[in-house]
């Protein structure tokens, strides 16, 4: 850890260390110096509070009620499975008897006003036990307090009621926060996301997956890239190690690049030789042992040899050539 902090100070992690220190100080201050105010927990209804039914809510909130009839959440109204039959509104807002009497906003729970984690808790009352959320703990959204309602509209009707469905709308929704990623898609070589032929959720599951960066999986546990690029999936009789060990991102920038084929370097030879530069017999210690001898036979000054995959064309894996020639 000390080594880590030392490196941090030397390099660009300075900001992070400052923030960590600040966070630590705040924590200590909160824990020792004074008792902080209690976080706004969702109002726990006293025992006297009771459900009044959605038709009671309709009396004052008719516009919301009507729109809700075409939202997928309307199913809660008839759902005996979770015990909210006829109480769809109160399944999220909690028992509304006091609010119905006083007509005061503070007398009822408003999930949009809660802390993100508390909002999620309300949603997960029903949605926790669904397959979509099995990777939630691995996902960055839950860890960064991005609540369900940041993407999902609970009351809206229409085709896009609960969440954006049209490709362009899905991409817009993601781009609102991930502006830096959207900027990458303006580069010339990219996946066809700005064109609407693909969406962000084709490759990423915003609820989280077992893979890093919430990459989608296909065929149970294979990276989602192979869902579209089935010809690169294999298994090959001659595998190229990085494809299995570190994935497509080793050589490609899937969000966009100024380099052809979304490569990480403008010339193929550098993509290859940055790894294939271990001399036999030299001690590479424990760092970067995989990646064998470079092609000393080739005169790399000649353009003929500068794009390695003109010959080593089956670089994703080959069925018949150990050197990926065919």
Partner 1 sequence: MRPLLALLLILPVLAAGQAVEPPKTEGQAATKAADQAPAKPADQAPAKPADAPAAADAKPEAKADSPAPSTEQWLTGEFEFGYRWLTDIRGNFPEYRSVVNLGEGPKLTSFDFTIHDPHKRLFDRLDLRAYGWGGDPYNTAHVMARKAAIYELNFDYRNIDYFNAIPSFANPRVPLGFNEQAFDTHRRNMSFTLDLRPGTHIIPYLAFERNSGYGHGIDTWVQDSNNEFAVPILLRDSTNNFRGGVRFEYNRFHVTLEQGGTTFKDDDQSYWNGVNLGDRTTPVLGQTSLLSGLAQSYGIRGTSVYTKVLATARLNDHFNFFGQFLFSEPKTDVHFSELAYGNFAALSSLLFYSGQQTTGTGAANQPHTSANLGFEGRFFNRLRFVNTWTSDAYHDAASPVIATQLIQGASSTATVNALNYTQRVNYFQNQFDLFFDVTSKLVLRGGYRRVWGDATVLAGQLSQTGSLVSGELSRNVALAGLSFRPSEKLSVNLDYEGASSDRIYFRTSLNDYHKVRARARYQLNTSLMLQANFQVLNNQNPAPDIRYDFESRDNSLSLYWTPAAAKRITVMGEYDRSTLTSSISYLGIFLAPSTSTYLDRSHIATSAIDFALPGLSGAKLTAGGSLVVSAGTRPTRYYQPLARLSLPLHKHVSWNTEWKWYGFGEQLYAFESFRTHVFMTGLKVTR
* Distance between CA atoms of residues 221 and 212, nearest Å: 13
Give the interface segment with partner 1, choosing from 49-57, 96-104, 154-162 (CB under 8 A): 154-162
Taking the least distance from each CB to partner 1, the nearer of 50 and 288 is: 288
Long-range CB contact pairs, 300-307, < 8 A, 24+: 300/269, 305/269, 306/267, 306/268, 306/269, 307/267, 307/268, 307/269
Which region, judged by CB under 8 A, interacts with partner 1, from 46-54, 95-103, 140-148? 140-148
In degrees and rounded to multiples of 5, residue 78 shows phi and psi of -110, 10
Give the shortest CB-321-to-partner 1 separation in angstroms.
8
Q: The tokens of 113 are what?
A: 């006003």
Structure tokens of 262? 């979304």
Helix (H, G, I), strand (E, B) or coil at 123: helix
In the list 54, 171, 207, 224, the residue contacting partner 1 (rule: CB under 8 A) is 171
Residues 6-25 binding partner 1 (CB under 8 A) are 7-8, 11-13, 15-16, 19-20, 23
Residues in CB range of 234: below 8 A, 6 or more apart = 243, 316, 317
CB contact at 8 A, 91 and 126: yes
When binding is defined by CB under 8 A, the residue of 53, 153, 247, 254 that contacts partner 1 is 153
Work out whether 104 is an interface residue with partner 1 (CB under 8 A).
no
Q: Which of the 8 DSSP states describes residue 39?
A: P
For position 214 contacting partner 1 by CB under 8 A, the verdict is: no
Instruction: Determine if 35 is a binding residue for partner 1 (CB under 8 A).
Output: no
Among residues 43, 56, 85, 236, which is the contact residue for partner 1, using CB under 8 A? 236
Among 56, 58, 134, 254, binds partner 1 (CB under 8 A): 134
CB of 141 to partner 1, least distance (A): 11
Query: Taking the complex as a whole, how short is the minimal distance between the CB of residue 324 and partner 1, in angstroms?
Result: 9
Q: For the CA atoms of 105, 109, 113, 115, what is the dihedral angle to 10 degrees? A: 160
In the complex, the smallest distance separating the C-beta of residue 118 from partner 1, rounded to whole angstroms, is 9
Dist CA 318 CA 326 (whole Å): 7
Interface with partner 1, residue 45, by CB under 8 A: no
Task: Tell me the per-residue interface mask from 58 to 77 with partner 1, x by CB under 8 A, - otherwise.
Answer: -----xx-xxxxxx---x--
Comparison of 38 and 48: residue with beta carbon closer to partner 1: 38
Q: In the 8-state DSSP scheme, what is residue 267?
A: S
Contact positions with partner 1 (CB under 8 A) in 242-301 = 242, 244-246, 250, 258-261, 264-266, 268, 270, 273-297, 299-301
Nearest to partner 1 of 52, 151 (CB atom): 151
Residue 171: count of CB within 10 angstroms of its CB: 22
Spatial separation of the C-alpha atoms in residues 158 and 169, rounded to whole Å: 14
């Amino acid at each position: 850890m000390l080594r880590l902090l030392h490196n941090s100070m030397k390099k660009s992690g300075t900001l992070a260390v400052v923030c960590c220190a600040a966070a630590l100080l705040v924590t200590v201050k909160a824990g020792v110096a004074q008792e902080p105010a209690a976080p706004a927990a969702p109002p726990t209804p006293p025992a006297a509070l009771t459900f009044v039914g959605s038709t009671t809510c309709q009396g004052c909130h008719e516009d919301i009620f009507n729109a809700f009839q075409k939202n997928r959440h309307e199913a809660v109204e008839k759902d005996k499975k979770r015990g909210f039959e006829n109480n769809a509104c109160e399944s999220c807002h909690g028992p509304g008897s006091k609010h119905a009497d006083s007509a005061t906003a503070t007398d009822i729970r408003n999930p949009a006003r809660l802390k993100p984690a508390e909002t999620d808790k309300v949603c997960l009352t029903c949605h926790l036990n669904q397959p979509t959320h099995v990777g939630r703990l691995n996902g960055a959204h839950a860890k960064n307090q991005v609540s369900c309602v940041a993407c999902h509209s609970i009351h809206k009707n229409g085709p896009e009621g609960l969440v954006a469905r049209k490709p362009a709308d899905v991409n817009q929704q993601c781009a609102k926060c991930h502006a830096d990623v959207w900027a990458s898609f303006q580069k010339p070589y990219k996946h066809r996301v700005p064109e609407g032929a693909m969406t962000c959720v084709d490759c990423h599951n915003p609820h989280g997956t077992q893979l890093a960066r919430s990459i989608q999986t296909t065929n149970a546990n294979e990276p989602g890239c192979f869902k579209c690029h089935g010809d690169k999936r294999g298994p090959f009789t001659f595998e190229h190690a990085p494809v299995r060990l570190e994935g497509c991102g080793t050589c490609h920038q899937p969000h966009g690049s100024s380099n052809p084929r979304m490569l990480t370097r403008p010339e193929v030879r550098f993509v290859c030789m940055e790894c294939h530069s271990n001399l036999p017999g030299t001690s590479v210690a424990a760092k970067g042992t995989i990646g064998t001898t470079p092609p000393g036979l080739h005169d790399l000054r000649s353009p003929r040899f500068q794009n390695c995959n003109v010959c080593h064309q089956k670089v994703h894996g080959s069925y018949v050539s150990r050197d990926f020639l065919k």
